[in-house]
C-alpha cells in the first residue's frame, strides 16, 4: 500500500524515469554524471547519519574501485564477460579493503575526530602515491597507471553475446543508475529498520551502553564501514565507466570534502534526501565550475557553514518534511 509520506520520493523517480523522453543525449549524460555521485554520498549517510562516524575516506574507496575496475578490465579484456565480472571483483576488493580499515579503526579503539583524521590520511596517501606513478615502470600487467594523467582505455561495463554488444552507455547507463538507486535506497531503508540498523543507531547515541547489553558494536561498525566503502566503490566504477578514465585528483583533498558537504546539506539522517540533494548540489557545483573551480568550492563551503548554523537537519530533509506535512494536511 502506498504511504502518503512517500509521494515526494515517488514523484522524483517518476520525473527521473521520463527525463530521457524529454531531453537529448547531452543532458542525459550530464544527469547520469550527477547521479553517479549519489552512491558515495549514500555510503557516507550510512556510516555518518546512522553510525555517527564521520569519514573522509569515501573518495579513497571511490578511487580504489575505479582503478581496480580499470586494471582488471584492461588486463582481461579478451576474457568473456569481463565487462560484467570486473566491476563485481573491483567492488569485492573495495569492500574487503574497507573491512580491513574498519577493523583497525574500531577494534583499535579509534573514534570521534580521530577517525576523520585517519581516513583523510589514507585518502591523501593513496592520492599522492597514484599521482607519482607516471613512469613506464608503474604497470600492473598490461595496465599502465599513468600517474596524475590517470588511466583510460578500459572497456565499458557490458557483455558481448554473439554479434550483439550490450554496453552500459548513454540511455542504458542512465536507466541502470536510476534503477540501481531505487534498489539501494530500498535496501538502505530496510537496513535502517532492521535489528542491525537499530543497534547501529543506538551505538551512535551511547556506544558503551549498547555494548553492555551484549551487542558486538565494533563488529557492526566494521561491517557498516565496509558497506559504506562498497557504496563509494559503486560511484567509482560508474564514474570510470561514464568518462572512460580515472585520475588521482578524484581522491584529492577537495574531492574528499565534497561528499561531507553534500550529505550535511541534504540531511544525513534520511537517505532519499541525500540522494536528491546530492544531484542538485553536484549540478550547482558543476555549473559554477565552468567559470572556475574556485567558485564552486567557495559556494559549497558557504552552504556548509549556513547549514551547520541554521539547518542542522539538512535543507533537503527540511523541505521534504514541509512538503509532506503540507500534503498530508490537505487530506
C-alpha to C-alpha distance for 164 and 171, rounded to whole angstroms:
17
Using the CB atoms, write b or e for 69-84: b if 16+ within 10 Å.
bbbbbbbbeeeeebbe
DSSP code, position 250: G
- The radius of gyration of the chain from alpha carbons, rounded to an integer in Å, stands at 20
- How would you classify the pairing of strands 139-140 and 164-167? unpaired
Helix H or strand E encompassing 143: strand 143-144
Q: Which three cell numbers stand for residue 173?
A: 547507463
pLDDT at res. 254 = 84
**Which distant-in-sequence residues (6+ apart) come within 8 Å of 29 by Cβ?**
170, 174, 242
CB 37 within 8 A of CB 282: yes
Residue with cell 567558485: 295
Over residues 161-210, the pLDDT tens digits come to 777 777 888 899 999 999 999 999 999 999 999 999 999 999 998 899 99
The backbone torsions φ and ψ at residue 3, rounded to the nearest 5 degrees and listed phi first, read: -90, 140
Residue closest to 229 by CA, chosen among 31, 49, 39, 89: 39
The pTM of this model reads: 0.93
Q: pLDDT truncated to tens, each residue of the chain (331 aa)?
A: 446 567 788 889 999 999 999 998 999 999 999 999 999 999 999 999 999 999 999 999 999 999 999 999 999 988 888 889 999 999 999 999 999 999 999 999 898 889 999 999 999 999 999 999 988 889 998 899 999 889 988 888 988 777 777 788 889 999 999 999 999 999 999 999 999 999 999 999 889 999 999 999 999 999 999 999 999 999 999 999 999 999 998 888 888 899 999 999 999 999 999 999 999 999 998 888 777 767 788 888 898 899 888 888 899 888 887 777 766 555 5
pLDDT at res. 2 = 46
C-alpha to C-alpha distance for 305 and 193, rounded to whole angstroms:
31
**Which distant-in-sequence residues (6+ apart) come within 8 Å of 4 by Cβ?**
324, 327, 328, 331
Amino acid at each position: 500500500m502506498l504511504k502518503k509520506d512517500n509521494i515526494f520520493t515517488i514523484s522524483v523517480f517518476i520525473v527521473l524515469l521520463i527525463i530521457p523522453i524529454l531531453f537529448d543525449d547531452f543532458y542525459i549524460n550530464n544527469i547520469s554524471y550527477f547521479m553517479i555521485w549519489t552512491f558515495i554520498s549514500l555510503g557516507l549517510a550510512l556510516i555518518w547519519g546512522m553510525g555517527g562516524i564521520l569519514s573522509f575516506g569515501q573518495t579513497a574507496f571511490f578511487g580504489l574501485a575505479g582503478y581496480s575496475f580499470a586494471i582488471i578490465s584492461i588486463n582481461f579484456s579478451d576474457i568473456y564477460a569481463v565487462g560484467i565480472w570486473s566491476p563485481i571483483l573491483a567492488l569485492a576488493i573495495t569492500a574487503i579493503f574497507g573491512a580491513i580499515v574498519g577493523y583497525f579503526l574500531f577494534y583499535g579503539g579509534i573514534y570521534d575526530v580521530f577517525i576523520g583524521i585517519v581516513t583523510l590520511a589514507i585518502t591523501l596517501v593513496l592520492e599522492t602515491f597514484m599521482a607519482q606513478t607516471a613512469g613506464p615502470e608503474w604497470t600492473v600487467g598490461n595496465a599502465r597507471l599513468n600517474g596524475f594523467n590517470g588511466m583510460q582505455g578500459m572497456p565499458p561495463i557490458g557483455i558481448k553475446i554473439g554479434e550483439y554488444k550490450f554496453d552500459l552507455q548513454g540511455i542504458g547507463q542512465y536507466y541502470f543508475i536510476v534503477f540501481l538507486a531505487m534498489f539501494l535506497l530500498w535496501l538502505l531503508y530496510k537496513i535502517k529498520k532492521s535489528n542491525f540498523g537499530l543497534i547501529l543507531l543506538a551505538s551512535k547515541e551511547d556506544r558503551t551502553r549498547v555494548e553492555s547489553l551484549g551487542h558486538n558494536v565494533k563488529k557492526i561498525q566494521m561491517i557498516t564501514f565496509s558497506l559504506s566503502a562498497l557504496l563509494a566503490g559503486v560511484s567509482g566504477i560508474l564514474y570510470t565507466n561514464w568518462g572512460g578514465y580515472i585520475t588521482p585528483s578524484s581522491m584529492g583533498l577537495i574531492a574528499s570534502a565534497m561528499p561531507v558537504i553534500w550529505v550535511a546539506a541534504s540531511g544525513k539522517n534520511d537517505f532519499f534526501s541525500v540522494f536528491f540533494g546530492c544531484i542538485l548540489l553536484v549540478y550547482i557545483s558543476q555549473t559554477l565550475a565552468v567559470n572556475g573551480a574556485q567558485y564552486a568550492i567557495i559556494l559549497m563551503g558557504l552552504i556548509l557553514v549556513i547549514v551547520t548554523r541554521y539547518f542542522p537537519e539538512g535543507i533537503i530533509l527540511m523541505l521534504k518534511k514541509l512538503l509532506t506535512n503540507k500534503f498530508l494536511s490537505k487530506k
